[in-house]
């Protein structure tokens, strides 16, 4: 039976270790976290605190030493159907055009060809690339490739977006521009997101909740509810006094860990 109070994603008592010949590294310990249906949760923390490790467990790429992740109450074992991942270095297929990269998940889903075309066109337009449909990835800038990658993830339309520094390699202005587009689209789609970033401002501007992790072994150190109304202007919200206060508090928590 469907339980509407059940979190979309739940992480319980998670411990993750990495083993090498000479040592065992505890990357995460006693991590508890839940993400409600449609909630946007960001995780910030110092480099090496286990943020990527956390996403790898949720996406079924890594087996924890203790505890587990649950999606819709089902324990994650192997890559779940419900997740869509956006990583820092998104591999678009270099031999396919922007259009065909976006169309691919629709084809895999088995949509009729005319619907694939209509939907891929709509998504490319949504990310502002309708004029570039026949370009190949190498003919596009880093920001444009990132837009194609986002459109492709929206085409896949997962229940949960797992995003690991998705705007990482972009310059500051492009990062803001793409973040703004992503937020606008997400506010319409309203799916659950678990978003990893080292950028406190980005985390606050996007999220319903920001989680701060401690230095390794990563634990959840603090949690901040972001009570800023939506839809939000991704850039201008930074001038809101509530934003500034959150930024200060989150930075205080994080700076102790660096």
Positions that interact with ligand ADP (CB under 6 A): 18, 20, 25, 27, 45, 47-53, 216
**Closest distance between ligand ADP and the C-beta of residue 83, in Å?**
17
**Closest distance between ligand ADP and the C-beta of residue 162, in Å?**
13
**Closest distance between ligand ADP and the C-beta of residue 193, in Å?**
17
Residue closer to ligand ADP, measured from CB, 9 or 127: 9
CB 243 within 8 A of CB 76: no
**Closest distance between ligand ADP and the C-beta of residue 50, in Å?**
4
Residue closer to ligand ADP, measured from CB, 52 or 174: 52
Tokens of 214: 């401690």
Residue closer to ligand ADP, measured from CB, 104 or 193: 193
Between CA 130 and CA 133 the distance in angstroms is 6
Taken as a whole, the chain contains a residue count of: 258
Between CA 147 and CA 24 the distance in angstroms is 39
Between CA 213 and CA 257 the distance in angstroms is 9
Residue closer to ligand ADP, measured from CB, 18 or 113: 18
Tokens of 232: 């939000």
Please classify residue 219 by burial: count the beta carbons closer than 10 Å to its beta carbon, then call 0-12 exposed, 13-18 middle and 19+ buried: middle
Secondary structure of residue 28 in the 3-state scheme: strand
Q: How many CA atoms within 13 Å lie on the side-chain side of 52?
A: 11
Residue closer to ligand ADP, measured from CB, 53 or 59: 53
> Before 217, cis peptide (omega within 30)?
yes
Residue closer to ligand ADP, measured from CB, 88 or 130: 88
Q: Tell me which residue has tokens 């701060």.
A: 212
**Closest distance between ligand ADP and the C-beta of residue 26, in Å?**
8
**Closest distance between ligand ADP and the C-beta of residue 211, in Å?**
12
Between CA 143 and CA 170 the distance in angstroms is 6
């Amino acid at each position: 039976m469907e339980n509407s109070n059940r979190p979309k994603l739940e992480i319980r008592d998670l411990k993750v270790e990495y083993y090498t010949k000479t040592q065992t590294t505890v990357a995460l310990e006693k991590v508890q976290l839940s993400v409600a249906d449609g909630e946007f949760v960001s995780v910030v923390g110092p480099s090496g605190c286990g943020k990527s490790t956390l996403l790898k467990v949720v996406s079924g790429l890594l087996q924890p030493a203790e505890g587990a992740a649950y999606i819709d109450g089902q324990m994650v074992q192997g890559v779940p159907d419900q997740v869509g991942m956006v990583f820092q270095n998104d591999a678009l297929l270099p031999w396919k055009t922007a259009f065909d990269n976006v169309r691919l998940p629709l084809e895999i889903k088995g949509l009729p060809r005319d619907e694939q075309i209509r939907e891929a066109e709509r998504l490319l337009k949504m990310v502002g690339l309708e004029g570039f449909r026949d370009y190949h990835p190498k003919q596009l800038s880093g920001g444009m490739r990132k837009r194609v990658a986002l459109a492709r993830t929206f085409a896949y339309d997962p229940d949960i977006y797992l995003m690991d520094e998705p705007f990482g390699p972009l310059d500051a202005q492009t990062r803001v521009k793409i973040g703004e587009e992503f937020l606008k689209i997400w506010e319409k789609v309203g799916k659950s997101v678990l978003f990893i970033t080292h950028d406190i401002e980005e985390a606050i501007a996007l999220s319903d909740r920001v989680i701060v992790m401690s230095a390794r072994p990563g634990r959840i150190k603090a949690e901040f509810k972001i009570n800023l109304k939506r839809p939000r202007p991704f850039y201008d919200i930074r001038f809101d006094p509530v934003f500034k206060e959150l930024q200060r508090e989150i930075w205080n928590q994080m700076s102790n860990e660096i």
